[in-house]
A and B are shown apart, each in its own frame.
Chain A
Amino acid sequence: MYSEVFSMTLLGIESVVVKVETDAGMGLPCFEMSGYLAAQVREARERVRVAIRNSGIDLKPQKIVVNISPADIRKAGTGFDLPIALGILAANGAVSQELLKDTVLIGELSLDGSINGIAGVLSSAIAARNNGFSRMIIPCANLAEGAIIEALGEEENIEVLGADKLVEVIDYFNGKTSLKKAFFKQPEHSEEYELDFADIIGQEVAKRATMIAVAGMHNIMYIGAPGSGKTMLAKRIPTIMPDLTNEEAIELTSIYSAAGKLKNGGIMTKRPFREPHHSITSAALLGGGRIPYPGEITLASKGVLFLDEFTEFPLGIMEALRQPLEDRKICVCRLGKDYVYPADFMLVAAINPCKCGFYPDRSRCRCNEQDIGRYLGRISGPMWDRFDMNVLIEKVNVEQITNIKNVKDEKHQVGEKANVIWKEMPAVENDALYKNTKPDSAAMKFMVLKAREIQCRRFEGIGINYNSQMEAGHIEKFCHLAKRETELINNAYKRLGMTVRTYHKIIKVARTIADIEGEEDIGVRHLSEAISYKNYVGR
């Protein structure tokens, strides 16, 4: 007898519907499978047969043929075990085919008949809903993930059911029992970050630069001696980024779901921070493999990609980053199919000022100018151009470390210092929380949100979101420079050896600084500060 069951396969981070066709009948007893299958799918043969037997159903010897169509899409993953098992059972008449017509099944089987969790459940659920299925059965382990579909809030929603054992599914289709239904729990947006910018002693310039970078989504390069706190700063960037919106959270969750990296199964509430080592291959960074798998740049979407010791990354890998940085997505091309992954991340890189790491401290650094030039020259000019901001991370001296212990006694002094550096802080004086304290993540996030709000209003209906995305035309429109400012930047252009690209970047960064300070027009102080973050190539 013939049966049809629907399932899903992942292509990139999106899923497509596949049909599992089964025929069980006369012939020499065997189990044939076709449909462009990866090895994991072929192995389903043994798992399914044993799982069915261990679920208490004895199949008579027969010829079983399973085809998964469309046959021109490569199928990988272990989610096909459950639909194949149901297909065989339906073909044998052990379950009713009535409900199977508008049900999608995914799940991996164990030999004892229990169902294990799989990757990519969220995108499968989205695809199932979009294809008009009314029901989806997934492993119980993925139930929280599958429930996210409810958060999408569409009217024609799909019923997501979880099953632990094959027997339960069989009974369900035969109308003997019901399955566990998924319920979406709105995650509490509590600040769960354990890190805080307040942990960092000194480094006020670097903190401010980081805040500006986040506010305008500018890529930033930290330059500093070993142990000066570059990594510490970078790790705290997600704490000052705006909370994930619902759409962002779902996109992020489906990426992590497709990569099988969803930790507790539920929706992602934190922005990712990815920190690949410099020995990474380009396939691992960009995404790749025979069946493509999302790379680090995709996993860093909506968050931070931190490349420590950037100069140690192979040249080819650095250059490969350029295109996704422009397009905010990566296309992994394979014979027959192109896989597009999102890559909407903020790039943060850290380097030492020279090979030994101590320049310009000549009592420790013996690198001559050529050595320094050669070291920094490992990063190509076009790659330098991808960084809107460069900032020095200075070594914190011992007085600063000891001073911090007395902070509570000298609250006044600290407050004064905070105001000196964070000129804008008094502007939020309504909020007692931010007054006379040194900048912590909460205060910085407040400023970032303020600047983002201004950008949001500015770019309404234009198709860009951040100052860093402005093109030349936008700059002309939104970054008006008065006479004095124009003179300053033109003078700097001539004297400091800038390129046109640097010129535009400076104006974009100046725009963000003005936004943070709540100014309508870009002033000389904003431009000057932006110029101090300009490109750093050689001496």
Chain B
Amino acid sequence: MDNISGINQEDVSNICRSRGKAQLNELVCALNEKNIGFVHPGSPEYPENLKNIYDFPTGLYYRGKLPDSAVFTVSVVGSRACTDYGRQTAQKLCREFSKMGIQVVSGLAVGIDGAAHKGSLEAGGYTCGVLGCGVDICYPAVNIGLYDEMCKNGCVISEYAIGTKPFPWQFPARNRIISGLADAVVVIEARKKSGSLITVDQALEQGKDVYVVPGRIGDEVSEGCNELIKTGAFVMTEPDDIIESIRVSGKKTGFSNLSNDSRKINLSPNSLATQKNMVYSGLNLYPKSLEVIMNENRLDIGTVTEILLSLQLEGLVQEVSKNCYVRINI
């Protein structure tokens, strides 16, 4: 090798080293130390679902427990800059999916992804995050709480070697794993040129069902979703919509009696006192400001703030931005 021009002594020694077993051992040690597992398509733990896609990853690094391909799995994708409507819907859907015994896969990004993982963890279900960087790096860093919890009770996986930084071009590629792991993909709030639509394209190529949560006409953040509905995607307005796909796939879930009314998304008034009920009924998943609430209900500021505060303390309403309120726990 010394005779080859263009490489220096250092390169030569690096090449020699990479052929030896020493470096492999170092890598294995590093993985063990960080409690990270590694599977390749030959190993029995490698997710069956991924083997069925065209460009399956040649190796997967993971922390936690790999998803079980025998159990029905849903991928939830959507905008990072989502509205509270999207956030609440994602959380609610995934909470119910988990209760149904469905595995939830997403990308551990902010926005819809984070809400999906959060909803699933809330209900004590299994959830898996596919990263676009090394599995030992939490990106974005704000999700560190979710990341830690998922390492314990779910899984984070990546096809990139440990220590790989989150370069932007790696994210579209990891989208194929998100869709590949799942039996159905749910899209919540995708803009016209959203990365989520890349996932949808991959999912369709891979032959997965695509469900879309509709948005209001004219809502920029849901334009991509509504476009998908127009081109024939399934519409999802409540968790039970997924049942058809579960039946067709023939896969098992943790839930035997699949239809259940309590899972319905419910925005109708409940048994609150009259004035409180009036204010609560006026609220929805789109932020409403204090002034609008006052004018709509013709109440004075003391009464409205009193009602809103008690609704907040009861966990029915959240102040999402200064003096802007939405419903939670739909």
Contacts and interface: CB of A to CB of B under 8 A. Distances in A.
Nearest to B301: A529
B49 interface: no
A362 B302 contact: no
Given A208-B301, A421-B301, A360 B294 contact: no
Interface residues of A, number: 45
Interface string B276-305: 000000000001011110110011111101
B302 A391 contact: no
B131 interface: no
Contacts, number: 111
Contact of B110 (A204, A369, A423): A369
A366 interface: yes
Interface residues of B, number: 37
Contact of A495 (B140, B295, B302, B312): B312
Contacts of B218: 363
B140 A370 contact: yes
A390 B323 CA distance: 9
Contacts of B301: 205, 208, 421, 423, 529
B291 A394 contact: yes
B300 A423 contact: yes
A531 interface: yes
Interface stretch (A22-30, A306-314, A455-463, A520-528): A520-528
Interface string A351-369: 0010000011011111111
A435 to B, nearest CB: 16
Interface in A171-206: 202-206
A520 to B, nearest CB: 16
Given A367-B81, A525-B302, A205 B294 contact: yes
Given A368-B110, A368-B111, A391-B323, A529 B142 contact: no
Contact of B320 (A360, A373, A390, A492): A360
B313 A368 contact: no
A292 B29 CA distance: 65
A206 B301 CA distance: 11
B292 A421 contact: no
B252 interface: no
A208 B323 CA distance: 14
A492 B142 CA distance: 25
Contacts of B159: none
A369 B111 contact: yes
B14 interface: no
Contacts of B287: 360
A223 interface: yes
B220 A363 contact: yes
A224 B153 CA distance: 41
Nearest to B321: A360
Contact of A359 (B111, B305, B321): B321
A496 B309 CA distance: 10
Contact of A420 (B220, B298, B322): B298
A478 interface: no
Contact of A488 (B300, B309, B324): B309
A392 B221 contact: no
Nearest to B303: A525
B305 A368 contact: no
Contacts of A529: 301-302, 305-306
B80 interface: yes
A532 B308 contact: yes
Interface of B: 80-84, 110-111, 140, 142, 218-221, 287, 289-292, 294-295, 298-303, 305-306, 308-309, 312-313, 320-324
10 contacts: A202-B291, A205-B289, A206-B291, A359-B321, A362-B220, A364-B220, A369-B142, A394-B292, A420-B299, A492-B309
5 closest Cβ pairs, A-B complex: A525-B302, A392-B323, A528-B306, A528-B305, A423-B300
